[in-house]
């Protein structure tokens, strides 16, 4: 796809290639799900399916090892959806359309590569491949204080990955019992379970914080609001929708899966931090006046919820966490797409300067309301399913500590309702604030297409949660047995 | 004397043949055809580089003063690749009218210094090593002063000359201590006697002097003060040579000396000295690089901090560290030469050398900007470019020793990569994001420059992904009979 883009000359060709590529991705993802389900139905119970391994760097036992389990399948579906919608959302992007889509593709390559890797080295490599295009995507095509945000975002995320790299190499050197063959393969490491406890004590925080930075864990979340606010629409979508999930997925796949002992010992620290993220993000969203900042802080809150649920260490909460990733990915992408479209018309994102947009652009208004409802957990949409599962899972812990934090996190739903309804009331209803806004038009066909796709996905998860939750539970169950 | 032992040094002989042919061409060909000299040298050297892969001698010569082993062979081959790129890159520059009278000297001096570096790599006796060191240093001073009419060039040469002499003096003072203690100049003998004699204050002092002497060539902090001025003042072709080739050779020699000679005082002395040097080098190099506005000074400080990373391979002091060091040098050569290729192309065309002049370069010269971006990403260690792999491997090599101190060291190095990413991104930002009224206009760089840049770009993209290169280096490092055992 990158090759195709490089060759295409005109803007039209670029678009054609991008759409074809994204559609192919969707088709492949769907095919993957079908194949995956049929194999599982046929009774294949190995932890990863479609595994393949090719030796890459023999001296360090680095392999290009690929494979998927239920959780990665779900994440791949999510990524495919958002890339697809993102291409449509950046339809009229200028200038340098070709370069934009090339970076966009590189970013998606990183994301998909990350989700299918089961080798720490390749996983880390794809992780960084997904990070660096952000700098240029925000720096060149962004808006507002873009230089500052792009630099801040890149440096903070790379700072996280510095810790991560050290942690991964540390894991590698303790991946096998004394004298055994060291390995980078996650499954083999988990099977060996040979990392000494005193090392787990250092390596777990390192890897968890490393991924946690990308998962916008308090106090490492500060890149996220600035970054999202300055990024172009599709990049915000992909970033909040997929990239932040890399953090959650990595925390789970590497930190928790490989170091169960340290997880149990140290999870309380991170539980406190993620608990703060959840509540703090929601409160911050209440006082922002910039649409993108509101949504960015709400992402901090929701992504905090993902990490929070993962740290609950039981199957129900874990299933909820992945559902939350899925649901938040879709609805936040929807939000950012809509905000981009509204901004593209009104040229302001300040909610104090907007009002009565429902009369002017009903389609976008309705879309915004649907996204908001999903975000605050209206039954029938995706947010409800995910949050419900998380809280049920979290409450299974009988001790006071977990329960207090669960109740705290539950409160964030109420706060979410506050900021969502505040925005909806302010910009969609009420009197029109600006005379110029009356002349604006509603969404064009490609925008409608992106929005409808995402809304359908959100509703589908809300109405048929079992389809996904079964796949996830199946994958989460064996891992969470480590903590039973 | 047994003349057949010269066959143990096939690469040196080959280089000598190239040198002589260039010299004869320069001296005896008619004035008219001298314009072909740069191309002639490049082609000849290219042939030599290729021929290198068939010169498979292994063994020692001159009663053990000189050794050809798998890693010396590989190291020289790596330097050759870098040299070839430098030669191709500078064809246009050396064909410019201004250089015409002294074209021959440029190539002859360049080849001489390379010969000196070969000796440094292969020497197993300090006398030969010093000869190599001097042969590599002194002609470089002449090269730095090559722009006769530029004041900065002279200043740089004087600075280079003085520091070179001073550091050689310190180095040799250290050697005299070593000789006094052990009564030998052979690496192997010294190692055995140091092991038998144990530590003494004099030995540690001698070691510190030796480290200072080689540290100068590598421009480790605090022996780096010459670097920025010399890089800025020297002709860009010479700067690029100075920054990669001479550094690579010194890094390898450094490792050999420390491991082969002073292996037994590893944990007592040089391990800690190196930790301090590395932390200082990486951190200060990075911090100074942030403030630079001149692109050549900027690259100078970036190369200082890169030298710190290369040193991590020395601290590792194991086969993996050696292999990673060689890999790092190779990657560093292609990445840095790509950057210098762009710098010199722009300098040749417009004379501009400030980072601010690069504003909006992507608009007018997308290919140059793209090459520069790849170079910056590779130097910063961003995947999927080669720099990421080299950094990862050098960290793995260092961490294999497993001590807590080294984890802390690597953590400091990793945090420094973030700082370095910041300033590398400043260049990317200038080219891609910032706009300016007086952008460098679109121009077509010379064919030779484009060839060199294409080679570097391919290198940056492929060296990491093609795993056979690293695997090959590890095999070479394992094939060598270096005595890492002394360290434990």
Chain A CB contacts of B320 below 8 Å:
59-60
Per residue in A428-451, pLDDT (tens digit) is: 777 776 777 677 777 677 778 888
pLDDT given for residue B481 in this prediction: 66
> What burial letters (b/e) apply to A368-385, b meaning 16+ CB within 10 Å?
bbbbbbbbbbeeebbbbb
pLDDT given for residue B83 in this prediction: 92
Number of H helices, E strands in chain A: 21, 2
Chain B CB contacts of A128 below 8 Å:
382-383, 388
From B423, which residue of chain A is nearest by alpha-carbon distance?
A151
Q: Is residue B487 scored above 70 in pLDDT?
A: no
Rounded to the nearest integer, the mean pLDDT of chain B is: 86
pLDDT given for residue B331 in this prediction: 93
Average pLDDT over residues B119-130: 91
How close, in Å, is residue A9 to chain B by CA atoms? 15
Chain-chain contact of A121 with B392 (C-beta, under 8 angstroms)? yes
Q: Is residue B397 scored above 80 in pLDDT?
A: yes
pLDDT given for residue A55 in this prediction: 78
Average pLDDT over residues B184-194: 85
The sign one gets for the Cα dihedral A167, B409, B326, B70 is negative
pLDDT given for residue B267 in this prediction: 65
Which residue in B377, B402, B410 is closest to A132 by CB distance? B377
Is residue A159 within 8 angstroms of chain B, CB to CB? yes
3-state secondary structure chain B: CCHHHHHHCHHHHHHHHHHHHHHHHHHHCCHHHHHHHHHHHHHHHHHHHHHHCCCCCCEEECCCCEEECHHHHHHHHHHHHHHHHHHHHCHHHHHCHHHHHHHHHHHHHHHHHHHHHHHHHHECEHHHHHHHHHHHHHHHHHHHCCCCCCHHHHHHHHHHHHHHHHHHHHHHHHHHHHHHHHCCCEHHHHHHHHHHHCCCHHHHHHHHHHHHHHHHHHCCCCCCCCHHHHHHHCCHHHHHHHHHHHHHHHHHHHHHHHHHHCHHHHHHHHHHHHHHHHHHHHHHHHHHHHHCCEHHHHHHHHHHHHHHHHHHHHHHCCHHHHHHHHHHHHHHHHHHHHHHHHHHHHHHHHCCCEHHHHCCHHHHCHHHHHHHHHHHHHHHCCCCCHHHHHHHHHHHHHHCCCCHHHHHHHHHHHHHHHHHHHHHHHHHHHHHCCCCCCCCCCCCCCHHHHHHHHHHHHHHHHHHHCHHHHHHHHHHHHHCCCCHHHHC
pLDDT given for residue A145 in this prediction: 79
Which residue in A129, A140, A172 is closest to B432 by CB distance? A140
Is residue B192 within 8 angstroms of chain A, CB to CB? no
Name the A residues in 161-180 with CB < 8 Å from any B CB: 162-163, 165-166, 169-170, 172-173
Query: How many structural domains comprise chain A?
Result: 1
Any idea where the domains of chain B sit in the sequence?
Answer: 3-482
How close, in Å, is residue A156 to chain B by CA atoms? 8
Separation of alpha carbons B401 and B172, rounded Å: 31
Is residue B320 within 8 angstroms of chain A, CB to CB? yes
Name, of A61-75, A106-120, B283-297, B432-446, the range with top average pLDDT. B283-297
Least-confidence region, from A216-220, B133-137, B240-244: A216-220
B25 is written with which tokens? 């061409």
From A141, which residue of chain B is nearest by alpha-carbon distance?
B433
pLDDT given for residue A2 in this prediction: 42
pLDDT given for residue B334 in this prediction: 92
pLDDT given for residue A337 in this prediction: 85
pLDDT given for residue A179 in this prediction: 72
Q: Is residue A379 scored above 50 in pLDDT?
A: yes
Chain-chain contact of A165 with B395 (C-beta, under 8 angstroms)? yes
* Entry pTM: 0.90
> Does ipTM come in above 0.95?
no
Average pLDDT over residues A360-366: 82
> Which of B361, B367, B414 is best to mutate for the A interface (most A CBs within 10 A)?
B414
pLDDT given for residue B97 in this prediction: 63
Chain B CB contacts of A139 below 8 Å:
429, 432-433
A&B contacts, CB < 8 Å: 81
How close, in Å, is residue B326 to chain A by CA atoms? 15
Q: Is residue A6 scored above 50 in pLDDT?
A: no
Per residue in B207-221, pLDDT (tens digit) is: 889 888 888 888 888
pLDDT given for residue B379 in this prediction: 92
User: Among all chains, which residue has been given the structure tokens 């649409």?
Assistant: A291
Per-residue pLDDT band for B309 (boundaries 50, 70, 90) equals very high
Of A451 and B197, which is predicted with more confidence? A451
How close, in Å, is residue B429 to chain A by CA atoms? 8
Per residue in B219-231, pLDDT (tens digit) is: 888 888 888 889 8
Is residue A56 within 8 angstroms of chain B, CB to CB? yes
Q: Is residue A95 scored above 90 in pLDDT?
A: no
pLDDT given for residue A212 in this prediction: 87
pLDDT given for residue A366 in this prediction: 84
Per-residue pLDDT band for A131 (boundaries 50, 70, 90) equals confident
Chain-chain contact of A172 with B407 (C-beta, under 8 angstroms)? no
Of A363 and B172, which is predicted with more confidence? B172
pLDDT given for residue B413 in this prediction: 92
From B420, which residue of chain A is nearest by alpha-carbon distance?
A155
Per-residue pLDDT band for B4 (boundaries 50, 70, 90) equals confident
Q: In a 10 Å sphere around its CB, with 0-12 CB exposed, 13-18 middle and 19+ buried, how is residue A202 labelled?
A: middle
pLDDT given for residue B279 in this prediction: 92
Per-residue pLDDT band for A8 (boundaries 50, 70, 90) equals very low
Is residue B470 within 8 angstroms of chain A, CB to CB? yes
- Number of neighbouring beta carbons within 10 Å of residue B418: 19
A136 is written with which tokens? 């240029």
Upper half-sphere CA count for residue A364 (Cβ side, 13 Å):
30
Chain-chain contact of A59 with B320 (C-beta, under 8 angstroms)? yes
Chain-chain contact of A136 with B428 (C-beta, under 8 angstroms)? yes
The β-bridge relationship of strands B66-68 and B59-61 is: antiparallel
Per-residue pLDDT band for A462 (boundaries 50, 70, 90) equals confident
How close, in Å, is residue B268 to chain A by CA atoms? 25
Q: Is residue A4 scored above 50 in pLDDT?
A: no
Rounded to the nearest integer, the mean pLDDT of chain A is: 81
Distances (CA, A) of B319 to A124, B218, B322, B398, B480: 24, 21, 5, 10, 9
pLDDT given for residue A189 in this prediction: 80
Chain A CB contacts of B361 below 8 Å:
none
Is residue A184 within 8 angstroms of chain B, CB to CB? no
Chain-chain contact of B393 with A60 (C-beta, under 8 angstroms)? yes
Average pLDDT over residues A249-273: 84
Per-residue pLDDT band for A3 (boundaries 50, 70, 90) equals very low
Chain B CB contacts of A146 below 8 Å:
433
Chain B CB contacts of A129 below 8 Å:
383-384
Question: Is residue B67 within 8 Å of B122, Cβ to Cβ?
Answer: yes
- Range of the structural domain that residue A140 is part of: 2-483
Chain-chain contact of B421 with A56 (C-beta, under 8 angstroms)? no
């Amino acid at each position: 796809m990158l090759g195709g883009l490089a060759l295409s000359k005109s803007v039209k060709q670029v678009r054609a290639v991008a759409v074809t590529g994204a559609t192919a991705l969707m088709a492949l993802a769907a095919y993957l799900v079908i194949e995956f389900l049929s194999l599982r139905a046929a009774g294949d119970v190995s932890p990863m399916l479609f595994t393949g391994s090719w030796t890459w760097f023999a001296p360090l036992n680095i392999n290009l090892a690929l494979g998927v389990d239920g959780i990665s399948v779900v994440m791949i579906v999510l990524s495919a959806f958002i890339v697809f919608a993102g291409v449509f959302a950046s339809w009229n992007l200028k200038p340098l359309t070709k370069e934009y889509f090339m970076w966009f593709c590189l970013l998606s390559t990183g994301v998909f590569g990350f989700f299918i890797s089961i080798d720490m080295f390749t996983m880390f490599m794809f992780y960084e491949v997904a990070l660096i295009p952000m700098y240029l995507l925000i720096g060149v095509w962004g808006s507002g204080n873009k230089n500052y945000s792009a630099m801040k975002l890149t440096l903070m995320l790379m700072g996280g990955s510095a810790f991560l790299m050290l942690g991964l190499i540390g894991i590698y050197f303790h991946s096998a019992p004394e004298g055994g063959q060291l390995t980078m393969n996650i499954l083999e490491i988990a099977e060996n379970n040979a990392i000494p406890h005193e090392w787990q004590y250092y390596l777990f925080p390192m890897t968890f914080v490393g991924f946690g930075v990308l998962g916008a864990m308090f106090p490492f979340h500060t890149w996220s609001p600035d970054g999202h606010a300055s990024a172009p629409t599709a990049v915000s979508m992909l970033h909040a929708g997929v990239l932040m999930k890399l953090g959650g997925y990595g925390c789970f796949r590497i930190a928790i899966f490989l170091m169960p002992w340290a997880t149990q010992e140290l999870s309380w620290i991170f539980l406190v931090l993620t608990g703060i993220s959840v509540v703090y993000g929601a409160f911050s969203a209440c006082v922002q006046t910039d649409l993108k900042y509101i949504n960015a802080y709400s992402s901090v809150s929701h992504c905090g919820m993902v990490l929070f649920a993962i740290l609950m260490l039981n199957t129900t909460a874990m299933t909820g966490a992945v559902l939350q990733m899925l649901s938040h990915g879709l609805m936040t992408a929807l939000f950012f797409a809509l905000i981009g479209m509204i901004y593209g018309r009104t040229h302001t994102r300040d909610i104090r300067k907007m009002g009565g947009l429902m009369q002017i652009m009903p389609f976008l208004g309705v879309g915004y309301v649907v996204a908001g409802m999903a975000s605050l957990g209206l039954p029938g949409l995706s947010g409800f399913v995910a949050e419900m599962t998380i809280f049920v899972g979290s409450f299974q812990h009988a001790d006071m500590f977990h329960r207090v934090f669960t109740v705290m996190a539950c409160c964030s739903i109420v706060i979410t309702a506050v900021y969502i309804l505040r925005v909806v009331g302010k910009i969609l209803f009420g009197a029109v604030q600006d005379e110029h806004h009356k002349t604006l038009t509603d969404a064009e066909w490609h925008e409608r297409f992106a929005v409808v796709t995402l809304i359908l996905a959100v509703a589908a998860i809300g109405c048929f949660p079992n389809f996904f939750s079964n796949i996830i539970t199946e994958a989460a169950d064996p891992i969470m047995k480590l903590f039973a | 004397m047994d003349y057949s032992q010269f066959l143990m040094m096939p690469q040196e002989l080959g280089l000598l043949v190239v040198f002589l042919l260039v010299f004869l061409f320069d001296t005896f060909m008619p004035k008219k055809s001298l314009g072909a000299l740069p191309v002639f040298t490049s082609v000849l050297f290219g042939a030599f580089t290729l021929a290198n892969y068939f010169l498979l001698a292994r063994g020692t010569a001159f009663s053990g003063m000189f050794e050809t082993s798998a890693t010396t062979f590989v190291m020289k081959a790596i330097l050759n690749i870098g040299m070839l790129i430098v030669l191709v890159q500078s064809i246009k520059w050396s064909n410019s009218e201004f250089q015409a009278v002294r074209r021959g000297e440029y190539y002859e001096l360049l080849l001489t210094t390379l010969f000196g570096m070969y000796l440094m790599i292969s020497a197993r006796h300090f006398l030969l090593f010093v000869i190599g060191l001097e042969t590599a240093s002194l002609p470089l001073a002449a090269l730095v002063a090559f722009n006769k009419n530029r004041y900065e060039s002279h200043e740089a040469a004087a600075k280079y000359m003085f520091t070179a002499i001073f550091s050689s003096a310190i180095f040799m003072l250290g050697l005299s201590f070593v000789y006094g203690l052990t009564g030998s100049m052979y690496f192997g003998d010294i190692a055995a006697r140091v092991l038998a004699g144990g530590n003494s204050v004099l030995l540690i002092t001698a070691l510190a002097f030796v480290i200072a002497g080689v540290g100068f060539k590598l421009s480790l902090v605090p022996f780096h003060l010459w670097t920025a001025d010399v890089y800025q003042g020297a002709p860009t072709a010479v700067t690029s040579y100075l920054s990669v080739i001479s550094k690579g050779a010194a890094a390898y020699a450094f490792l050999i000396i420390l491991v082969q000679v002073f292996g037994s005082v590893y944990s007592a002395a040089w391990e800690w000295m190196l930790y301090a040097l590395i932390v200082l080098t990486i951190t200060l190099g990075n911090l100074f690089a942030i403030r630079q506005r001149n692109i050549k000074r900027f690259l100078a400080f970036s190369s200082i901090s890169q030298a710190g990373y290369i040193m991590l391979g020395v601290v590792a002091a194991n086969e993996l560290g050696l292999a990673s060091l060689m890999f790092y040098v190779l990657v560093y050569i292609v990445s840095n030469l790509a950057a210098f290729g762009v710098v010199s192309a722009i300098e040749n065309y417009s004379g501009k050398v400030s980072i601010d002049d690069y504003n909006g370069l992507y608009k007018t010269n997308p290919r140059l900007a793209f090459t520069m971006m790849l170079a910056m990403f590779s130097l910063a260690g961003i995947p999927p470019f080669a720099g990421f792999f080299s950094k990862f491997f050098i960290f793995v090599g260092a961490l294999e020793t497993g001590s807590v101190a080294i984890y802390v060291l690597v953590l400091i190095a990793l945090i420094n990569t973030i700082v370095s990413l910041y300033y590398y991104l400043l260049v990317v930002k200038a080219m891609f994001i910032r706009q300016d009224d007086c952008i460098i206009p679109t121009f077509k760089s010379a064919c030779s420059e484009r060839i060199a840049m294409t080679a570097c770009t391919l290198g940056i993209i492929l060296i990491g992904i093609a795993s056979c290169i690293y695997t090959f280096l590890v095999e070479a490092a394992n094939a060598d009979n270096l005595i890492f055992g002394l360290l434990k």
